[in-house]
Structure 1
Amino acid sequence: MKVKTGLMKLDSHVQEIKGNVAYLCHAASVDENYRHGIYKIKSLFGDRLKKLFSPQHGLFADVQDNMVESDHFFHSHFQLPVYSLYSETRKPSAEMLEGIDHVIVDLQDVGTRVYTYIYTLTYMMEACAENGVEVIVLDRPNPIGGVAVEGNVLDMSFRSFVGRYPLPMRHGLTIGEVAVMAKSQWDLNCELRIIKMDGWERSMTFLETGLPWVLPSPNLPNPESAFPFVGTVLFEGTNVSEGRGTTKSLETVGHPKIKNYDLLESLQIGFEKANLRGFILRPVSFLPTFQKHAGVPCHGYQIHVTDFALFKPWRVGQLLCQSFYHHLGENFVWKQPPYEYEEKLLPIDILNGTDQIRHWVESNGDFQKLEEIENQGLESFHNMRKDMLLY
């Protein structure tokens, strides 16, 4: 085993953790043998484990879509209450934290600003600061690596549950490093402890860690899909399918009216001009079984990553969106609110963290303009980020 996660190293920290604990976890909170972390936490802390918390998609990663909430329930096998933090609240209440001295957070993030688990972490930190509870983060790898940073920094005018803080779309941080940044830069001043990984290097993809992959949400079935996700998640703000309802969700995009073979050459020319490499677009047709265009044949592309170090998924996703917008004409539609509890702003704008990119798409702007938008705030983020790195 190349990498040991925070969960795998928890044994040596048990004596330092006094009092009652709660465990914020999900389906991917497993050890090196695919055994769920609840078993380990229960074996280490016994009756001191009092409560479980779950993020979006539920404890079992079985809940599909945004704003489809999970209920609180009592887990009959573990004999523990489970409080959903994607329910009537995203922030745990004082009552939920009553009797708890430490909350152990063990979530597999995917390294993209709009993935909500880092915001469940920050809401937990906020609540724990208010209630005198320590947060202990069991760190896990960023599956798309900890080197590359990509995309514009969130404009706080477009803050939402898919972007609470000024991060670029691909932030290059582990969830433990996000917690350090939250305490240092975002005034979430709870008592915080990070149990670091052993053996993880920033250049590693998840495939290089030697760790088992369990899907952290229903539509990321393998670690490879976390790479194109950085760009394909943008299509949640449109009527273009991001492949949900297929076996290659978030690696595949399409629409019933796209003429994928006709469009391919111009896309390839655009990617070449922008020096975007490390991937191949393969024309595909697919039939979504649910969500957008369910039961209607769609035509588009599967994104095959050929070089993870060269691939720039955010830029690829933006150029695809711009091309589809002008190719489809009146058949292309921006999704309307509500989306992730935002009732007024367009979903594409909260996903992008700005409305400038939507205007760039609509005006058919050149790639240099997209780069200018991307660079806004990136230098200051890099300067701040380097002091947050744990590895």
Structure 2
Amino acid sequence: MLGAERIDTYLPLLQGKRVGLTINQSSRVGETRLIDTLLARKVQVVRAFGPEHGVNGQTAAATDVDNSEDPQTHTPFISLFGKQVKPPKEDIADIDIMVFDMQDVGVRFYTYISTLHYVMEACAESGIPLLLLDRPNPNDGYIDGPVREANCSSFIGMHPIPIVHGMTLGEYAQMINGQHWLKNGIQCNLKVITMQHYRHGMGYTLPIAPSPNLNTQRSVILYPSLCWFGGTIISDGRGTGTPFQLLGAPSLKDKYPFRFVPQPIPHVAERPMHMRDTCYGMDLRQISLDTIIRSKKLQLKWLLSLYENYPEKAHFFNGEAQNGPDTVIHFDLQAGTTRLRKQIKAGLSENEIRKSWQDGLEKFKKIREKYILYP
């Protein structure tokens, strides 16, 4: 039972209050939008705030989202992706309590945890309590990847955590508070409405796509191992009907027989990598998802193989040729470290690279234990 479905538990906390919502298209109670559920119960919703992709999940990645109004309820929607990423003081000044409810996928570079950070920070600064309705993490069966280093801090890597962190948003919010990651070490007055009958690693198929390119369960499961290709010359399948399930580039024609052609898709992939060019590479649609899930690790082998086979290695990592090998580039921000790129270029094996992650992972797991809400 999802946090949002436990209406009798949290409705008394909202009655008689002026309520703000941080929501998107995944914020539902069964088939009904959370905002409609609350309004039907006479909750006074003042305004809503939306993350990357907008409150309706219909804006392409890395595209600014404008403020808008819900056509059904006429509730003002304030964008937290574009000109601002943090709720302005004037937009929360008349709010008594903020509710946060959206579906995350458990990956450091998925920006909903960054939005969570800034909403918590704004609430803490204005003395507004935050009520978080918890949801499952579809990638919480493992913890893996390099822990983000300080020089690779960005909106797609705000905290020193590995790529796959194995926490629900409720647990993660507790970690943000407990580790004093908000500005000046302030803490948010946080209450998590936990799920019932949930345990880590049980698996969860998302009923609604959390963002335009995570349109299938396969994309959600493969996403942690494919998103860093966005910092390379390799297409990750965006601009096709199966994003985050294909890998390729035009220059790999002599290496792989499989091919695909990325096309612009309105509101999903406006200008995808290698748009309208034939890419050659890997088809991950046939790989057993159970095998990927049971491996309990990031699939580093695809990155190593494509780098090894790419003929123009100086151009494999976007921006490296122009800025030099010592500059932090987009791939590093996604990986959370400059070390991975250097390890790949030096020809280190997968085992050698994974070994370099272990100390950071063990330290993170000990910190994580303090904030876990589910077995």
TM over 0.5: yes
Paired residue for 2:262? 288
Question: Aligned to 1:61, which of 57, 71, 79?
Answer: 57
Question: Aligned to 1:239, which of 229, 233, 244?
Answer: 233
Q: What amino acid does structure 2 have at the position aligned with 1:26?
A: N
User: Is the Cα contact below 8 Å between 2:318 and 2:331 reproduced in 1?
Assistant: yes
Question: Aligned-pair distance for 1:349?
Answer: 0.4
Q: What amino acid does structure 1 have at the position aligned with 2:312?
A: E
Alignment deviations for residues 6-60 of structure 1 (CA, whole Å, 9 cap, x no partner):
1111333211335211111111112223x221111222343x2100100001111
Question: Aligned-pair distance for 1:249?
Answer: 0.3
Paired residue for 1:388? 371
Which stretch shows the higher mean deviation, 12-21 or 215-224? 12-21
| Cα distance in 2 between the residues matched to 1:247 and 1:85 | 28
Paired residue for 2:295? 311
Alignment deviations for residues 189-225 of structure 1 (CA, whole Å, 9 cap, x no partner):
0100000111212121113xxxx61111100012232
Question: Aligned to 1:137, which of 132, 139, 143?
Answer: 132
Question: Aligned-pair distance for 1:312?
Answer: 4.4
Question: Aligned to 2:278, which of 297, 317, 321?
Answer: 297
Paired residue for 1:91? 86
User: Is the Cα contact below 8 Å between 2:59 and 2:212 reproduced in 1?
Assistant: yes
| Cα distance in 2 between the residues matched to 1:228 and 1:215 | 14
* Structure 1 position 119 matched with structure 2 position 93: no
Alignment deviations for residues 253-311 of structure 1 (CA, whole Å, 9 cap, x no partner):
11112248x56xxxxxxxxxxxxxxxxxxx73211112111111112212222335423
Paired residue for 2:303? 321
Q: What amino acid does structure 1 have at the position aligned with 2:361?
A: L
Q: What amino acid does structure 2 have at the position aligned with 1:321?
A: L
Q: What amino acid does structure 2 have at the position aligned with 1:206?
A: Y
Q: Secondary structure at the match of 1:127?
A: helix
Summarize the alignment of residues 161-172 of structure 1 with structure 2, pairs less than 5 Å apart: 161-172=155-166
Summarize the alignment of residues 9-28 of structure 1 with structure 2, pairs less than 5 Å apart: 9-17=6-14, 18-28=16-26
| Cα distance in 2 between the residues matched to 1:345 and 1:92 | 29
Question: Aligned-pair distance for 1:336?
Answer: 3.0
Summarize the alignment of residues 24-103 of structure 1 with structure 2, pairs less than 5 Å apart: 24-33=22-31, 35-46=32-43, 48-66=44-62, 68-103=63-98
Paired residue for 2:174? 180
Q: Secondary structure at the match of 1:329?
A: coil
User: Is the Cα contact below 8 Å between 1:94 and 1:127 reproduced in 2?
Assistant: yes
Q: Secondary structure at the match of 1:234?
A: helix
Equivalent residues, number: 352
User: Is the Cα contact below 8 Å between 1:153 and 1:376 reproduced in 2?
Assistant: no
Summarize the alignment of residues 312-391 of structure 1 with structure 2, pairs less than 5 Å apart: 312=296, 314=298, 316=299, 318-330=300-312, 332-336=315-319, 345-391=328-374
User: Is the Cα contact below 8 Å between 2:21 and 2:100 reproduced in 1?
Assistant: yes
Alignment deviations for residues 351-376 of structure 1 (CA, whole Å, 9 cap, x no partner):
00000000011111122320122214
Paired residue for 1:152? 146
Question: Aligned-pair distance for 1:325?
Answer: 2.0
TM, length-normalised to structure 2? 0.89
User: Is the Cα contact below 8 Å between 1:54 and 1:83 reproduced in 2?
Assistant: yes
Alignment deviations for residues 142-190 of structure 1 (CA, whole Å, 9 cap, x no partner):
0123x41111111122100001001110100001111010111134401
| Cα distance in 1 between the residues matched to 2:129 and 2:7 | 15
| Cα distance in 2 between the residues matched to 1:169 and 1:245 | 24
Alignment deviations for residues 92-119 of structure 1 (CA, whole Å, 9 cap, x no partner):
1101111001110001000111000011
Summarize the alignment of residues 265-276 of structure 1 with structure 2, pairs less than 5 Å apart: none
Q: What amino acid does structure 1 have at the position aligned with 2:180?
A: W
Q: What amino acid does structure 1 have at the position aligned with 2:26?
A: A
Paired residue for 1:192? 190
TM, length-normalised to structure 1? 0.86
Paired residue for 1:104? 99
Q: Any unmatched runs of 5+ in structure 1?
A: 264-282, 338-343
Paired residue for 2:2? 5
Q: Any unmatched runs of 5+ in structure 2?
A: 265-271, 321-326
| Cα distance in 2 between the residues matched to 1:186 and 1:296 | 47
Q: What amino acid does structure 1 have at the position aligned with 2:228?
A: L
| Cα distance in 1 between the residues matched to 2:292 and 2:301 | 18
Q: Secondary structure at the match of 2:294?
A: coil
Q: Secondary structure at the match of 1:357?
A: helix
| Cα distance in 1 between the residues matched to 2:70 and 2:26 | 17
| Cα distance in 2 between the residues matched to 1:176 and 1:37 | 17
| Cα distance in 1 between the residues matched to 2:30 and 2:150 | 38
* Structure 1 position 226 matched with structure 2 position 220: yes
User: Is the Cα contact below 8 Å between 1:102 and 1:136 reproduced in 2?
Assistant: yes
User: Is the Cα contact below 8 Å between 2:219 and 2:244 reproduced in 1?
Assistant: yes
Q: Secondary structure at the match of 2:353?
A: helix
Question: Aligned to 1:248, which of 239, 242, 247?
Answer: 242
- Report the CA distance shift for 1:131/1:45 in structure 2 as closer, same or farther (over 3 A): farther
Moved over 6 A (4+): none
Alignment deviations for residues 56-88 of structure 1 (CA, whole Å, 9 cap, x no partner):
01111111121x100011223211110000020
Q: Secondary structure at the match of 1:377?
A: helix
